[in-house]
């Protein structure tokens, strides 16, 4: 039994005449007769009684008539879904995110992608950097977003955006009177750093910058994420070097000032994905990322 035979069977069951059914199907009568005979051989039973005026369904034919429209509808929906998937308009894309990645450009990327492909399911997973790399290599996610991604065999990394470095201060801190800050002014200030992971990240970059400028770094807290860090700043536990999107959190009692240091320039937000991955959805996402990154870069240059 195949879909053509089912379509021919349905036409004949409705018209009850080989000639009229063949005309509706835009074929001659002999091919219709052959296909119906082949269908009957396939199910192992007669589907039609031949009459002087045409045909009538047998009991077996009536059973098949109940199912044939559903089978054809399922086949049609399946074909449409496969075609939409082949065009990058359906399917699922699993994405690794970290806490502060959802504060600026990534929501814009996801919103634009969803608007273009509303039938694509986006699976969002909060993961730190090592977890994202592991999940990519194990094919549990398709793309990740993070900063300072280490070179890893089989993983490609691209720039999504460049983020300014800021200093977060309690609102009554003496340094709030400054328009900008340097590491010299942050020497011996109680510093809250994140993330406290063994791999290189923002905490390590901050420590390295202090060493390069031969300034003392006084760390009072090492925490997992930006939200915890800024909450401690809000509570007056210390100051924190962070990135511009963090200011969007809008925590009370926190003031932000630009940081200028040759060793802490703008930091790259990256996307990472498997090298050689030919997923249509992934490549559509990458095309969108590159378009947005280019537009943002042009605006920044103006």
Ordered by where they begin, the domains of the chain are 3-86 (1.10.10.10), 94-160+271-301 (3.40.190.10), 165-258 (3.40.190.10)
pLDDT of residue 141: 97
Here the tokens at position 86 are 């082949």
Which two tokens mark 36? Answer: 């119906």
pLDDT at residue 294, as a whole number: 86
Q: Which regions in the chain score pLDDT beneath 50?
A: none
CA distances from 57 to 14, 49, 289 (A): 10, 6, 58
* pTM higher than the cut 0.75: no
Residue 254 backbone dihedrals phi, psi, to 5 degrees = -120, 130
pLDDT attached to residue 255: 97
Name the nearest CA neighbour of 209 among 236, 177, 172, 241.
241
Alpha helices in the chain (DSSP H): 3-15, 18-25, 29-43, 59-86, 105-116, 129-137, 183-186, 202-212, 226-234, 280-301
Phi, psi of 239 (to 5 degrees): -115, 165
Q: How far, CA to CA in Å, does 252 sit from each of 29, 181, 230, 247?
A: 80, 21, 10, 11
Name the token pair of 225. Answer: 């994420």
Residue 88, pLDDT score:
67
């Amino acid at each position: 039994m195949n879909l053509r035979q089912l379509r021919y069977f349905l036409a004949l069951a409705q018209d009850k005449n080989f000639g009229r059914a063949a005309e509706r199907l835009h074929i001659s009568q002999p091919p219709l007769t052959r296909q119906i005979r082949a269908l009957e051989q396939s199910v192992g039973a007669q589907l039609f009684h031949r009459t002087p005026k045409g045909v009538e369904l047998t009991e077996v034919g009536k059973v098949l008539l109940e199912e044939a429209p559903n089978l054809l509808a399922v086949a049609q929906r399946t074909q449409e879904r496969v075609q939409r998937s082949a065009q990058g308009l359906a399917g699922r894309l699993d994405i690794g995110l970290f806490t502060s990645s959802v504060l600026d450009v990534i929501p814009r990327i996801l919103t634009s992608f969803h608007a273009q492909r509303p039938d694509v399911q986006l699976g969002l997973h909060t993961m730190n950097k090592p977890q994202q790399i592991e999940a990519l290599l194990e094919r549990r996610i398709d793309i990740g977003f993070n900063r300072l991604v280490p070179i890893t065999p089989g993983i490609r990394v691209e720039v999504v955006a460049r983020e300014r470095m800021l200093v977060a201060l309690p609102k009554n801190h003496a340094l709030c009177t400054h328009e900008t800050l340097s590491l010299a002014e942050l020497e011996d200030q109680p510093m809250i750093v994140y993330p406290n992971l063994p791999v290189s990240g923002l905490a390590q970059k901050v420590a390295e910058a202090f060493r390069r400028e031969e300034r003392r770094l006084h760390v009072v807290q090492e925490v997992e994420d930006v939200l915890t860090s800024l909450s401690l700043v809000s509570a007056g536990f210390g100051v924190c070097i962070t990135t511009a999107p963090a200011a969007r959190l809008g925590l009370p009692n926190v003031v932000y000032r630009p940081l200028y240091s040759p060793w802490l320039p703008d930091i790259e937000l990256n996307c990472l994905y498997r090298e050689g991955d030919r997923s249509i959805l992934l490549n559509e996402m990458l095309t969108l990322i590159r378009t947005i990154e280019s537009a943002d870069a042009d605006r920044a240059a103006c």
